[in-house]
Structure 1
Amino acid sequence: MTDSVEFPPTTFAALAAPAVDRAFVSGIRAPGPKGRDVVMAHGGAAAGFLIDLRNPLAAGRRLSRDELAALNRYRDPAAFHEGLAASVAHGLLTEAPDGTVAATVPGHAFLRDLFALHREALTAQWGGQEARIDRLNGALARTLAAAAQTGGIAWRAQAPPYETDQTPPAVRLLNRLSTLRWHRADAHAAAWQAAGLTADEMVALPPGPARDQIEQETNARNAAPFAALSAAERVTMLADLAALP
């Protein structure tokens, strides 16, 4: 297959997006009801607010208000500020006078439990996939390195993915997939902004030529990092993503 099929980066970007999303969503949901239990044990919705921010917060990075806004482009602003305030009030986040936020000791405790839960769940869900996971991690390492040249504000807030020497390969893969998705998110935002739309207008845009044009522009903007891979490596990545249970 890899010898007979070639995908240019832009075409591959269109094909990779749903494959990356499928693998990431499957992985992030792997804990099932246990995930809800961990969230509730640490404060419910106040803890849940940290999940999308887990990579930078676990690494000890501070997030600015502009970065937080970019990471929550499609959320109702009132709901976003309410969620942020609840996490601060619950003691999971601390807010500096300049508006930047970081995880507190209780916040880090929640993130440790969350990563441990994913380690357990993914060991079961992706067991027996070690060679495939290792190939994906290698390809993603190069893709993420290249993405640093073209990523926008949400990408810069999320990159690099959180990992240590003790991070299991399956959790490493989940975190790298998560970070890669933010490069496309920035590409998508740049595309609808270039079309003169707001976030609300983009959400409300019906299927049709205008939306198709924005998706095509998104793929073109999101293609650059995949040029770090050979044509054969792109096909292998798609096959490996599709084969993950």
Structure 2
Amino acid sequence: MGSWPAAEVAPEIDRLVLGVNQAVDDTRLYEAAGDRVVDWISLSQIGDFMVAGVLTDEIATLRARYRPRDVVLGRLHELEQQGLVERHGLALAATEELRPLIETLMDARADAAATLWRGHEDDVYQASRTAQELGALASDDHVVAAVHRTLPAPEDPFLRLHSRLVTLRYLRQHDHAEAWLAHGLTASEIGVMTGLWNGEDVVSGEALAQLVARGLASDDSPALTDAGQRMRSEIEADTNERSQVMFSALGENETAEFLAVLRRLPG
């Protein structure tokens, strides 16, 4: 399986979660919204936290750590002003007006997952069970994942697997952030660095200028320098090493079977 099972499992989790998200019937969501302007992207990201009444400013900003903090908090304030969420101490909860929209989104997601995974019920059950076990192995400093894993498990088995895989994505998101923060990078800088690392076109701006000033990128034809390539590779290796902790606790055989089950599921 290689030195880092975490590195092999991560893209399979991404493939399955994003595959379900992309298969959601948008028409169904628009019909549920009616004449209201609904930010379905935000609801898809934090709706489950709001339905459970456990969304805090910390969770929202960490969940969207690559967006400016003031933008994220501003959106939450707008939802409050619209009467769609209400505060209970530090936590935000969906109101009776917003809850049906989130539930519609969850139902559409469950149907999308069922369409992809129906006929693979045994694999869905096994993957869900292992994902739950993995999620429980992570430390509580993985704030978003630690809260997400305590949310009520969806009754629908296909949606339950999706939810537990999302928890694992939150775990890796935290590990990745810890890795790039250790190199003194900002969210904007790692976003540009990763784009260049993947051979994507990036827009010149402050983040690129900062990378250039540190000798990590060139700006005439934006690209990572040798030093930038080394740093981004180190960040990826560090991310995998941090993520590997829970897989090591799970055990080699069960990790290998988990990977095999994920690979069998359509995405």
Q: TM-score range by the shorter chain?
A: 0.7 to 0.9
User: Aligned pair 1:156/2:146, yes or no?
Assistant: yes
**Would the aligned equivalents of 1:119 and 1:170 in 2 still touch at CA under 8 Å?**
yes
Superposed, 1:71-220 pairs within 5 Å as: 71-95=63-87, 100-147=91-138, 149=139, 151-164=141-154, 167-205=155-193, 206-207=196-197, 208-220=229-241
Structure 2 counterpart SS, 1:223:
helix
Is 2:153–2:160's contact at 8 Å kept on the other side of the alignment?
yes
How far apart are the structure 1 equivalents of 2:265 and 2:28? 21
Q: Distance in 1 between matches of 2:120 and 2:38?
A: 33
- Deviation of the 1:94 alpha carbon: 1.8
State the TM-score, normalized to the length of structure 1: 0.84
Distance (Å, rounded) in 2 between the aligned partners of 1:151 and 1:55:
20
Structure 1 residues 231 and 21: CA distance shift in structure 2, 3 A: same
Q: Which residue of 1 aligns with 2:208?
A: none
Secondary structure at 1:196 match in 2: coil
Cα distance, 1:197 vs. partner? Answer: 1.1
**Pair 110,196 (structure 1): closer, same or farther in 2 beyond 3 Å:** same
Q: Deviation at 1:78?
A: 4.5
Contact 1:53 1:158 survives alignment (8 Å): no
Q: SS where residue 106 of structure 1 aligns?
A: coil
Q: Which structure has the larger Rg over C-alpha atoms?
A: 2
Q: Distance in 2 between matches of 1:82 and 1:42?
A: 23
CA distance 1:81–1:141, shift in 2 (3 Å) = closer
Query: Which residue number in structure 1 is paired with residue 217 of structure 2?
Result: none
After TM superposition, the structure 1 = structure 2 runs for residues 29-48 of structure 1, keeping only pairs within 5 Å, are 29-34=22-27, 36-37=29-30, 40-41=33-34, 43-48=36-41
Q: Aligned in 2, Cα 1:70/1:41: closer, same or farther, shift over 3 Å?
A: same
Q: Which residue of 2 aligns with 1:232?
A: 253
Per-residue deviation, 1:75: 1.0
Report deviation, 1:81.
3.5
Q: What is the deviation of 1:192?
A: 0.9
Q: Is the 8 A contact 1:38 1:114 kept in 2?
A: no
Q: Which AA in structure 1 matches 2:187?
A: A
Aligned residue for 2:53?
60
User: Which deviates more, 73-82 or 179-188?
Assistant: 73-82
Give 1:213's aligned amino acid. Answer: E
For residue 36 of structure 1, report the CA deviation from its aligned partner: 4.2
Q: Match of 1:3? A: none
The Cα shift of 1:47 comes to 4.6
What is the aligned-residue identity percentage?
A: 26
Distance 2:162 2:35 in 1: 22
Q: Aligned to 2:86, what secondary structure does the other structure show?
A: strand
Structure 1, unaligned runs of 5 or more: 1-5
- Unaligned stretches of 5+ residues in structure 2: 198-228
Q: Deviations over 1:98-119 (max 9, x none)?
A: 6642211122222221222222
Q: Structure 2-normalised TM-score?
A: 0.78
- The count of residues paired between Structure 1 and Structure 2 equals 233
Q: Deviations over 1:195-236 (max 9, x none)?
A: 111111211224211111111111111112212433222222
Letter aligned with residue 242 of structure 2: R
Kept in 2: contact 1:43–1:90 (CA 8 A): no
What is the CA-CA distance between 1:161 and the residue it aligns to? 4.3
Moved more, 79-88 or 234-243: 79-88
